[in-house]
């Protein structure tokens, strides 16, 4: 009986030792496993979601902007090839490329050499209509500027907000209008220029 009891105690002790060996790995094994392995810091992506892209990557979806040519004169051939077709970017030969059509210019009427970005004031009869290049807008600014400007009222009798200069009344581009200039004179206001038939220049 004592022999059987001793054998049982020996078996239980062996089981405990084996279990302890499986539950607590050797420190030598732990050091060897982690020494050359970097920690995984990636964040899992939920189902259906797309991982974020680097803003500088080629597939980030951000297209590089191209600066269009400035409004300087062409220096060379005005013809360009677009989709295999030759396009004349300067049909009126004023050295300014047209708007659109791949030409990237600022000439709003490429069939009229009088209409171009560098056009100054002139007294030509304006092209009919409104918008860029029309009604006296010779420099494609989408607006009409009258040379000398306009004034709303004639010279006042007294020196109160007297100084003014410009076309008084209707000032049709390419036509004629009344141009005045008012200056203080003591307590009064005098008209130093009164041109009743001055050509109206526009751009």
Q: What is the pLDDT of residues 100-146, one digit of tens each?
A: 878 888 999 999 999 999 999 999 999 999 999 999 999 999 999 99
132, 188 contact by CB (below 8 A):
no
**Which pLDDT value is given to residue 124?**
97
Average pLDDT of the segment spanning 155-172: 96
Backbone torsions φ then ψ of 90, nearest 5 degrees: -145, 75
The kind and range of the H/E element at 4 are helix 2-23
Phi, psi angle pair for 152, to nearest 5°? -80, -30
Residue 197 DSSP label: E
Which residues, 6 or more positions from 187, have their beta carbon under 8 angstroms from its beta carbon? 158, 159
Question: Which pLDDT band holds residue 78 (cuts at 50, 70, 90)?
Answer: confident
């Amino acid at each position: 009986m004592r022999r059987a009891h001793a054998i049982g105690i020996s078996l239980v002790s062996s089981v405990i030792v084996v279990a302890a060996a499986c539950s607590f790995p050797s420190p030598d094994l732990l050091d060897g496993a982690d020494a050359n392995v970097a920690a995984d810091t990636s964040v899992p992506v939920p189902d259906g979601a797309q991982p974020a892209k680097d803003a500088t990557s080629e597939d980030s979806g951000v297209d590089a902007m191209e600066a269009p040519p400035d409004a300087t004169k062409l220096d060379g051939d005005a013809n360009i090839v677009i989709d295999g077709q030759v396009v004349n970017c300067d049909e009126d030969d004023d050295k300014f490329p047209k708007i659109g059509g791949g030409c990237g210019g600022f000439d709003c009427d490429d069939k009229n050499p009088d209409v171009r970005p560098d056009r100054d004031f002139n007294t030509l009869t304006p092209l009919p209509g409104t918008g860029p290049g029309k009604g006296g807008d010779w420099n494609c600014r989408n607006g009409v500027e009258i040379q000398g400007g306009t004034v709303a009222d004639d010279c006042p009798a007294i020196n109160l907000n007297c100084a003014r200069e410009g076309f008084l009344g209707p000032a049709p581009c390419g036509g004629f209008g009344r141009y005045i200039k008012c200056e203080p004179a003591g307590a009064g206001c005098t008209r130093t220029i009164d041109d009743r038939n001055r050509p109206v220049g526009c751009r």
